Structure 1
Amino acid sequence: FILIKLGYPPAVAVSITLIYRLMEFWMPMALGALSFLVKVNKLLMRIIPAVLMLCLGVVNIISVLTPAIKERLVFLENFLPIEAITASNYFVLVAGLFLLVTAAFMLKGLKMAWYFAVSLCILSLLGHLSKAIDYEEALFSVFVLIILFSSRKQYYIKHNSKLRSFGIQTTFLSIAGVFIYGCIGFYFLDKRHFEIDFNWLQSIKYTFQNFLMVGSSDLVPNDAFARGFLYSINISGLLSLSFLVYTLIRPYINSEQTTDEELEKANALLLKHGDSSLDYFKTYRDKLLYQDDALEGFIAYRIAGNFAVGLEGPVAAPDDKIALLRSFDKYCYEAGLKSIFYRTSADQLDNYVRLGKKKLFLGQEGVVDLTTFSLEGGSRKSIRNAIKKVSDQGFATKIYNTPVSDGILQRLKSVSDDWLRDTQREEIVFSQGVFIWEELKQQTIITVENKEEKIVAFLNVIPSYVEGESTYDLIRKTADAPNGVIDFIMVALFNYARTAGFKSLNLGFAPLSGLVTPHNFPERSMKFAYEKIRSFSHYKGLRSSKEKFTPVWHDKYLIYSDDYDLLQVPNVLSKVIKP
């Protein structure tokens, strides 16, 4: 307006204004956004494209539902027939609906979803230009395309090839069925329904248009029967195409199982290279085992969603661990999985840092020095009182060596079931065991029994592959067990391990505890929850129950690759601990 008042022709004034806006606002914004995306971590590189896809889907739908600019539409009609313009509106609308769905799959990092997103953006770009020269929406489509290509490396998770083949076959059969239904229907319909006596070419044309939900201006239903016939083709087309999209972008799911031969080889490797208290659980039946023929070692893991969750780290010679981790990462990448490792020791962190991975503090593991442990002194008074109280009530400990009789195992099973029921818990696996009759039969069992030999508490001793260290797995008691029974049985375990020649005993994991100086936002959140939120108070109780034995605490970490992974880790871990 001001430029026109100064004497500039309207076309020149508009051009100057647009160039000014481009240089002063749009270009700096675009360059700033690209610069931000280059530097930002991979969390936003996964989220931003999905959000933009969602926005583009909404833009598409709104653009179709709002009237076009009359001048542009009149200009476009000089080049395209009205049928093509109408079809473009339908394609933009359909693309918008599929964009909303695809955005959700983009968050999962699916490779096929990325291809779909690019295709839908190109379709939106062409559709906006051919339906009413909506260059604003078209430019937004171009911007989304640029973001998609800049973040393409974040989308690597494979699709399910078997389901894809099934989906393609099913879709083609559906298309064939609908086309036969539509063509025959149109051809034999009475003229009064559409005022058209359809020939075969018209039947094929209108079936194809309605299958793709494009419609036609010259196909007007005269009654409810005719409208229902068109709706049946529309709905069949929508369901067929939606099923095809789902089967194409559904993530790959690994369903391998560990063989007896692999377990036998892994157990032999444990005897040779085992060095952790968690190694015993790495050959549990819930685990999958990754082995590289070129390396001597294995990694125990479970799959949940798109994650391969490794337990602690590799069992291998020290010089082979990094190579095995690198090989496992390559396998996961090719299988469309992301690798994370749960409860990794601090002394193993260098291996992961060298591979560019990140760490998150999870808690600490307590180890008691049996060579110095004693019940003497004021700090042990509460333990001595608990032992005396339980002993005065007529309870005593017993040790059952292998093989444990079926009669004892039946009594232990009763205690275990009682404990699960009273505590409202379920068996969990991965980093701990469950009550398996055959396993416990081959382990040393320590029980607490009354004078009538009723078992009120028990624990099972399991192998620790740390030299000179003993540990246990299950520790369970009945509802009527006396107070202090856990301290009572733990001291019995200390005495047993010391008599057996062990120098230390692993007390197990205390989640969230021991975090003194948090280094990032997730760790600060964990520390706050542990200290301030009541629902996390049971972790404090677990820590204090171990702290009374004055153990040496060792830090444990979660190993992951991208910050975005942390959003999914709680759900992933809740799945891998289920039997």
Structure 2
Amino acid sequence: NLAEPNAWIALLILVVFFISLFLLFTNIKKKGKIYQILTKRSTSFEQFIQAFDKNEIDKKGVYGTIIVSILIDLVGIGQLYCAMYALQLSPSLYLATITYIVAVLLLIVSPFLRGIGAIDVSVVYILQKAGFTSEQSLATTVLFRLFEFWMPLILGAISLIARINKFLIRVIPAVLLLILGIVNIVSALTPPIHERYVLAHELFSMRMMHTSNYFVLMAGLFLIMNALFLFRGSRTAYLTAIILCCISILGNILKSFDYEEAIVAVVTLSILIATTKEYKVRPKMNIPSKVGQLLLISFAVVVLYGLIGCYYLNYTFWHLPLTLANHLEILGRNLLLLRNPHYLVVSNTSKYFLFSINMWSFINICFLLFLLFSPKYIAQPEIDTSNLLLAKDMLYRMQQSPNDFFKIWNDKQIYFFKKADGFVSFKTHKNYAVVLEGPVLSDYQQLKASIEEFENYCNELHLRTFYYRVSESSVDDFQSLKKKKVLIGQEAILDVKNFSLSGKSKKSLRNAVNHAQSSGLKVIINQPPIKDGLLQRLESVSNEWLNSNHRKEIVFSQGSFEWNELKTQTILTVENEEGMVLAFLNMMPAFSRKDVTYDLIRYVDEAPNGI
């Protein structure tokens, strides 16, 4: 309401703020006084502005984004107006615009899920202030948010599922198993529906109904624990989940015709059966000797504790003519989490004692299942250096890409094909074989057959494969074997003979080179063998580069700072007038005479922009 004096002040402050922001941007763009003051106080600010200035703004893209954004806002206003009109209220374009603007402002500042909750409350509040009743305001808000938020959210979720189905194939069954476990526990612990209970009692015995309820409860507990191992891809966890789902279906029907819980179990079982190929990880199925001894001692202690306790309780409270067999029956039932014999009347003291045995037994059973179901990961074998040397000789004949050098790095395993002249370089992690690029072959007509041979080899070891940085020309061969592709980038190849710094497109690069040269920097080519003194300075630069942004060495498709390796390689250093090394890169050994590839590019924090 602009009639209020505070509204005019707020509007004036907003106008002044945007004008000041525009003037500040213009001053920095033209390198005026404000820019000079800021760059004198902060060298990093100058580097940021220079880096920002390199990237030319696509004006068409900016204008297109603004136009699309305005159209989206107009559609939002129209949705709110249509919601009023559809409910046969008094629609107002002015009211719809004001309400939508407030909703957008709350959307900007809201930290959770596009302002859910905050926007709904604000829209209801504004509509009520405009004269709508509470019911009318709420109905308008629900209809508006249905088309503005919930329907796009559902469509986006469907699109996400369609694009990352491999991930969800592993996640959804585990989540459903967890939900089924919770449903089973709640169903077993809550009273049944009376009509269904009476009907079940007419068809089944009370003992069967109680037993079914017990099995549903136990199945729920183990389903929750099993969900974690299912997510890890354990084959044993998968088979156990199938059995537990069948128990859940049968148990929920027998205990009181709880068909809703049985339907959840049927859906979970169906999805498990449909995703059976996703579970290949073998369990450990072996228990370390010390852990096994601990379990045996724990079992012996609980048996001794249970027998002594049963004799004491019988002498003090029960006063029954119990034999050793009866005491063992009571102990066994509680260790297996079963009901106590009908002749045993349990007092409060006895109840706490037997409950302690139940808990002790349940914890031990869970621990035992954890040991048995834990996935058995393939240990990283020792690298066979003779295989690496043989692969190196083959690369001189079959050079494939600039990454060939890393295929014989000391972290790789080599698989030589039996039916083709070539090999695969890979590294194992848990139950995965990660292949660097594709097979190296003398005859690439055998590519598909070679991939199949390696896949069979990995299947025998229960390893799942994926291939990192394969060439575009071999994608069809991988896809024919039902592999899915993900574009992660493109190879940057530069023709040195035809490269030039002239032209508008090279302006930013040309400015960076000129700036570096004017600062007195020079590039020095250091031929092998590299002296230890220089390597010490390079190691200092490398450590500073790693520590500045909390980086770590990654050695799969790139190298690391290896003293002995760098000593035999050509290294380019950038040094200032005092001879201080500000940056360096190393040239990788190449198996092709036509290509040159660099690996490490590392620099110190105070290195100027464009180095």
Answer yes or no: same fold by TM over 0.5.
yes
CA distance in 2, matches of 1:262, 1:231: 60
Q: Which residue number corresponds to residue 376 of structure 2? A: 252
Between 82-91 and 355-364, the greater mean CA deviation after superposition: 82-91
Provide the residue aligned with 2:47 in structure 1.
none
Q: Distance in 2 between matches of 1:200 and 1:294?
A: 68
Q: Secondary structure at the match of 1:252?
A: coil
Evaluate the alpha carbon distance shift between residue 316 and residue 163 of structure 1 in structure 2; reply closer, same or farther with a 3 A threshold. farther
- Contact 1:308 1:339 (8 Å CA) reproduced: yes
Aligned to 2:233: 109
**Change over 3 Å in CA distance of 1:343–1:205 after alignment to 2:** same
2:423 is the counterpart of 1:298: yes
Q: Which amino acid aligns with 2:326?
A: Q
- The CA RMSD measured in Å over matched residues stands at 3.3
Deviation at 1:407, TM superposition (A): 1.0
Rounded to whole Å, the distance in 2 between the matches of 1:304 and 1:334 is 16
Which residue matches 1:367? 493
| Separation (CA, whole Å) in 1 of partners of 2:289 and 2:199 | 45
State how far apart, in whole Å, the 1-side matches of 2:264 and 2:254 are: 15
For the residues of structure 2 that align with 1:386 and 1:149, how far apart are their CA atoms? Answer: 60
Name 1:235's counterpart in structure 2: 359
- Out of 275, 280, 303, the position equivalent to 1:179 is 303
Q: Which has the higher contact order (CA 8 A, sep 6+)?
A: 1
- Equivalent pairs counted in the alignment come to 446
The superposition leaves residues 327-376 of structure 1 with CA deviations (integer Å, 9 ceiling, x where unpaired) of 22223333333211222221221221232222121112211101212344
Tell me, yes or no, if the aligned pair for 1:95 and 1:124 is still in contact at 8 Å: yes
Deviation sequence 1:126-166 (CA, Å, 0-9, x none): 43344345456446545544443344333223222445999
Q: 2:177 is matched with which residue?
A: 53
Deviations 1:172-223 (A, max 9, x none): 6654553344234423555224444642112211111111222326545545
What does residue range 152-301 of structure 1 map to in structure 2 within 5 Å? 152-163=276-287, 174-187=298-311, 189=313, 191-196=315-320, 198-216=322-340, 218-222=343-347, 224=349, 226-257=350-381, 258-301=383-426
In structure 2, distance between residues paired with 1:294 and 1:183:
66
Query: What CA distance in whole angstroms lies between the structure 2 residues aligned with 1:183 and 1:97?
Result: 27
Matches of residues 334-373 of structure 1 in structure 2 within 5 Å?
334-373=460-499
User: In structure 2, the residue corresponding to 1:57 is in which secondary structure?
Assistant: helix
Aligned to 2:585: 459
The residue that corresponds to 2:601 in the other structure is 475
Structure 1 residues 382-436: Cα deviation after superposition (integer angstroms, max 9, x where no partner): 4444434433433322222222111110011111112222333222222211111
1:64 maps to 2:156: no
Does the 8 Å contact 1:415/1:456 carry over to 2? yes
More strand by share: 1
Counterpart Cα distance in 2 of 1:379 and 1:47:
47
Question: Does residue 447 of structure 1 match 2:567?
Answer: no
2:370 partner amino acid: Y
Tell me the alpha carbon deviations over residues 70-97 of structure 1, each in whole angstroms, 9 at most, x when there is no partner.
5665676688775554343222111012
Do the aligned partners of 1:192 and 1:222 also contact (CA within 8 Å) in 2? Answer: no
Q: Does 1:333 align with 2:459?
A: yes
Contact 1:193 1:223 in 2 (8 A): no
Secondary structure of the 2:244 match is: helix
| Pairing partner for 1:400 from 519, 526, 533 | 526
Distance 1:114 1:477 in 2: 50
Q: Aligned equivalents of 1:271 and 1:385: distance in 2? A: 40
Sort the Cα spacing of 1:85 and 1:60 in 2 relative to 1 into closer, same or farther, 3 A. same
- Structure 1 residues 341 and 193, CA gap change in structure 2 (3 angstroms): farther
**Structure 1 residues 72 and 350: CA distance shift in structure 2, 3 A:** closer
Structure 1 gaps of 5+ residues are 1-39, 486-579
Give the 3 Å change call, closer, same or farther, for CA 277–232 of structure 1 in structure 2. Answer: same
3-state SS of paired residue (1:285): coil
Contact 1:448/1:456 (CA < 8 Å) preserved in 2? yes
Q: Which amino acid aligns with 1:336?
A: H
Which structure has more helix as a fraction of its residues?
2
Per-residue CA shift, 1:236-295, capped at 9, x if unaligned?
Answer: 211122123222322221113222223222222322323111111122233333344454
Contact persistence 1:462–1:473 (CA under 8 A): yes
1:119 aligns with 2:243: yes
Q: What residue is the counterpart of 2:157 in the other structure?
A: none
Secondary structure of the 2:414 match is strand
| SS of match in other structure, 1:299 | strand
1:115 CA displacement = 0.8
CA distance in 2, matches of 1:456, 1:142: 65
Q: CA deviation at 1:234?
A: 1.2
Alignment-mate amino acid for residue 399 of structure 2: G
Hey, what's the Cα distance between the residues in 1 that align with 2:344 and 2:592?
79
Distance 1:377 1:72 in 2: 83
Contact 1:157-1:335 within 8 A present in 2 as well: no
C-alpha distance in 2, partners of 1:166/1:293?
43
Distance in 1, Cα, partners of 2:583 & 2:265 = 66
Structure 2 counterpart of 1:95, from 212, 219, 244: 219
Cα 1:424–1:208 shift into 2, 3 Å: same
Report if aligned partners of 1:253, 1:305 keep a CA contact under 8 Å in 2. yes
Taking the aligned partners of 2:216 and 2:541, their CA distance within structure 1 comes to 64
Q: Which residue of 2 aligns with 1:429?
A: 555
| Sequence identity (%) | 40
State TM-score, norm by structure 1. Answer: 0.68
Question: For the structure 1 residues 131 and 462, does the alpha-carbon distance in structure 2 shift closer, same or farther, using more than 3 Å as the test?
Answer: same
Closer, same or farther: CA 219–316 of 1 in aligned 2, 3 Å: farther
Q: Given the superposition, is the C-alpha separation of residues 58 and 373 from structure 1 closer, same or farther in structure 2, using an over 3 Å criterion?
A: same
Q: 1:45 to 1:423 in 2, by over 3 A?
A: closer
CA contact (8 A) 1:403 1:442 kept: yes
1:256, 1:288 within 8 Å by CA — same for their partners in 2?
no
For 1:276, give the aligned amino acid.
S
TM-score for both structures, normalised by structure 2: 0.65
Conservation of the 8 A alpha-carbon contact between 2:234 and 2:375:
yes
2:434 counterpart (309, 319, 341):
309
> Partner of 2:491: helix, strand, or coil?
strand
**1:530-560 CA distance string (max 9 Å, x none):** xxxxxxxxxxxxxxxxxxxxxxxxxxxxxxx
How many angstroms apart in 2 are the aligned matches of 1:297 and 1:396? 43
Partner secondary structure for residue 191 of structure 2: coil
1:563 alignment counterpart:
none
CA distance in 1: counterparts of 2:278 and 2:218, whole angstroms:
26
Structure 1 residue 441, shift from structure 2 partner = 0.8
